[in-house]
């Protein structure tokens, strides 16, 4: 059983560009969350998708947007990239968002560098 997969593994962009990151959840998982991890910091919650809708959002600007597809895979889009967007972007999936304390399983991440 494949775990959470993310693509690409690394990405280099310049300021002002747009980027799309992709995530496939574990088999049977219907909830996908995205986190941003700056160097030396803990991950910060960006948003969560369930049934193809954004259900929760962290303190991130509208430049960060996402999508969930009928097969539960998800995309994270970031527009008008800033140098401060350089980070490791982690995708996590869980069996459901409806159960308290449900475990989230993380992918290996996409490392984004903005020059």
When binding is defined by CB under 8 A, the residue of 13, 30, 60, 105 that contacts other proteins is: 105
**66: number of Cβ within 10 Å:** 21
3-state secondary structure of 85: helix
Under rule CB under 8 A, residue 55 binds other proteins: yes
What's the closest the beta carbon of residue 70 comes to other proteins, in angstroms?
Answer: 21
Nearer to other proteins, 33 or 74 (CB): 33
3-state secondary structure of 69: coil
Nearer to other proteins, 16 or 61 (CB): 61
Under rule CB under 8 A, residue 31 binds other proteins: yes
User: Which one, of 85, 91, 84, 86, lies nearest residue 108 by Cα?
Assistant: 91
Query: Binding residues for other proteins, per CB under 8 A?
Result: 4, 31, 33, 35, 40-45, 48, 55-56, 58, 90, 92, 94, 97-109
């Amino acid at each position: 059983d494949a775990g959470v997969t993310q693509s690409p593994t690394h990405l280099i962009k310049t300021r002002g560009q747009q980027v799309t990151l992709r995530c496939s959840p574990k088999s049977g998982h219907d909830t996908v969350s995205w986190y941003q991890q700056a160097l030396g910091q803990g991950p910060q919650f960006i948003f969560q998708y369930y049934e193809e809708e954004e259900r929760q959002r962290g303190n991130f600007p509208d430049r960060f947007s996402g999508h969930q597809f009928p097969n539960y895979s998800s995309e994270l889009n970031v527009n008008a990239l800033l140098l401060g967007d350089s980070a490791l972007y982690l995708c996590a999936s869980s069996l459901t968002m409806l159960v308290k304390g449900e475990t989230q399983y993380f992918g290996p991440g996409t490392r984004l560098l903005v020059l």
